[in-house]
Amino acid sequence: MLIQDKIFSFYKSRLDRYGKYLIIYLVAGTSCKKLVNVDPPLTQLTGTNIYTSNTTAAAAVTGMYTLMSNGSFATGSPSISLGAGLSADELQGTNLSLGSSLILMYKNALSSTTSAPYWGTLYSYIHTTNATLEGISASSELTPSVKQQLMGEAKFMRAFLHFYLVNFYGDVPLVTTSNYEVNAIAKRTPQKQVYDQIIADLKDAKNLLGSDYLAADAMTASSERVRPTKWAAIALLARAYLYKGDWVDAEAQADTIINNAGMFSLVNDLDGVFLKNSKEAIWQLQPVSMTLNTLDGNVFILAKAPNPSSPVFLNTNLLNSFEIGDNRRMHWVHDTTIAAQAYSYPFKYKVKASAALSEYLMVLRLGEQYLIRAEARAQQGNTTEAASDLNAIRNRAGLLNTTGTMQSDLLTAIYHERQVELFTEWGHRWLDLKRTSMADAVMSIVTPQKGGVWSTNWQWYPLPLTDIQKDPNLTQNIGYY
């Protein structure tokens, strides 16, 4: 079922205890979880009438975030954080407990006949964003401010989704329409052109979206940081420029976020970084389960020996990367012994299961922006300023200033800092290994430790065989047969 079809069958509801954030939730066969119904279900919604009122149009867009938070590519066992962490040197799995596709990702042993991680899900969401853009553009009934906000969110989301596709698969079909006949024969688009579209969408989103966080009606101001703003567009734009090697623009965009001290600041208490509406949060996803906070917390926190509900723990390569005295090792990693076996697991989220809502899933945060600006400045030879940004992150972790002064030393230090600052967040490590050309050097050592055999071709996931068979214009990534 397409994401949009699921959204159209949602209830329009409101968070129970806070009443601040309007959200829609699946009708068929589900309880209301953290929600209390305030209106009857949205019925008989179609692509033609969903955008005829502010309420239903905003609810349709909000539904994407709800689905993401309810277990998808964004969070939980199917998430990018888990799968890409297993592909890299962050997470360690057990053959007895991991699902078959995750085992293959862990061993870097995917093939053309295995499932293609995230491909179908990301394109399904892209279809929804394109349908949203088309529906909103054609609507004459929406309030102009609501129309502008929702257009901005859809552009942002399309860029966000394409960003992960191009970084997982390389050249990918660039899909900017909901027309099935066009998409069914789409060709792979060169990465540069995909990035050009990502940046164009983000520039549009930056201009369309407002500075303030809004509630689910896309009009009312909110303290909840769960709806994209212009700051989210700027943050992702800084990352996209960094990945393209456009150091000047990457620095400029990150600088805009960092200098907005009134809205964002580094949280010095490491235990507070991932709390709901943290000052470090640029964009978060709000949990929707009655008994859980984030699904990442539920999956990563080990309550007993690794099993299907808690399938992974931290790889020793990551654990050995922390410097002595790094407080992130103490606050963001938890050590436990189960049946005489020692395990260390991610502990950025402290809540495995609780009805008390205290943590939201972090998607974009200020810490990354400091590291983006540090890298962009170092690449331009501005070593003093780069070191200052790097030290802001190091000092927050209880570490002394970097000893690097030369450009090469600083870049090495920045890549290391990204490893220990952003671990198990949205696949940063896996993407960093590839974009910095470190994948072969690192994974040729790590993959055999995981029981696999490394090939430089494994940096890109395989496209799904079924899609290649249906689309005569699609080709497989090199090395997959």
Render pLDDT for 152-198 as a digit per residue (tens, 0 to 9): 999 999 999 999 999 999 999 999 999 999 999 999 999 999 999 99
DSSP per position, 149-194? HHHHHHHHHHHHHHHHHHHHHSSB-------HHHHTTPPPBPHHHH
Give the integer Cα–Cα distance in Å for 392 and 451. 38
Burial class (CB in 10 A: 0-12, 13-18, 19+), 43: exposed
Give the integer Cα–Cα distance in Å for 159 and 68. 16
Question: Strands 281-285, 91-93: parallel, antiparallel or unpaired by DSSP?
Answer: unpaired
pLDDT tens, residue by residue, 331-377: 999 999 887 888 999 999 999 999 999 999 999 999 999 999 999 99
What are the Cα distances from residue 132, in Å, to 15, 51, 166, 257? Answer: 24, 8, 22, 28
Give the integer Cα–Cα distance in Å for 393 and 401. 9
Q: What is the pLDDT of residue 466?
A: 93
Q: What is the pLDDT of residue 77?
A: 86
Q: What is the pLDDT of residue 310?
A: 59
Among 234, 185, 204, 196, CA closest to 364 = 234
Give the integer Cα–Cα distance in Å for 293 and 458. 34
pLDDT of 149 higher than 60 = yes
Q: What is the pLDDT of residue 337?
A: 87
Any bridge partners for residue 172, and if so which? 189
With bands split at pLDDT 50, 70 and 90, how would you rate the model's confidence at 36? very low
pLDDT of 124 higher than 50 = yes
pLDDT tens, residue by residue, 427-470: 999 999 999 999 999 999 999 999 999 999 999 999 999 999 99
